[in-house]
A = this chain, B = another copy of it.
Amino acid sequence: MTAIEILKKLKEKGVRFTPQRQAILEFLLGTDTHPTAEEIYHHVKAKFPGVSLGTIYNTLNMLKEHGHIMELSYGDMCSRFDGNPKNHYHVACTDCGRIVDLHSPLLDLEQEVGEKTGFLVQGHRLEFYGVCPECSTHKRAKMN
């Protein structure tokens, strides 16, 4: 899907089509470098010298909320620390933010990934996210 097609779809949901948004989305769709907000800002500024970082963030958040792009971070959460530095997996609750450990057999994918990408793979992190039992219970309770 092109940037214009996505923005046309969003227009039906009451989101306005602006040239800044088009430029931001086109840049993001046309690259695989996973740019930071700052990098997007500099790029869009070449075409729209007056654009501001606030607009970049607003647009990225809007696109993220509609599921058209993805943010690679914990989002609004800050760092959390784990006393166990070995590879193990985490499951995070999107509702309450709780993170629980998953004691599961480790995957042996690192070598495969190294061969596919040429990286010297040093480690990996696997995180699942969803709603924890407590939160889904509360939600059900609230609905009644």
Give residues in A with beta carbon < 8 Å to B: 25, 28-38, 40, 60, 64, 67-75, 78-85, 89-91, 93-94, 98-102, 104, 107, 109-110, 112-114, 116-133, 136
Tell which of B31, B74, B124 touches A129, judged by Cβ atoms closer than 8 Å: B124
Residues B79 and A37 in contact, CB atoms below 8 Å apart: yes
Residues B91 and A113 in contact, CB atoms below 8 Å apart: yes
Which B residues lie within 8 Å of A32 (CB)? 100-101
Residues B81 and A34 in contact, CB atoms below 8 Å apart: yes
Tell which of B37, B123, B132, B133 touches A78, judged by Cβ atoms closer than 8 Å: B37
Known A-B contacts A32-B100, A113-B104, A124-B129; the reply to A70 vs B78 at CB < 8 A is no
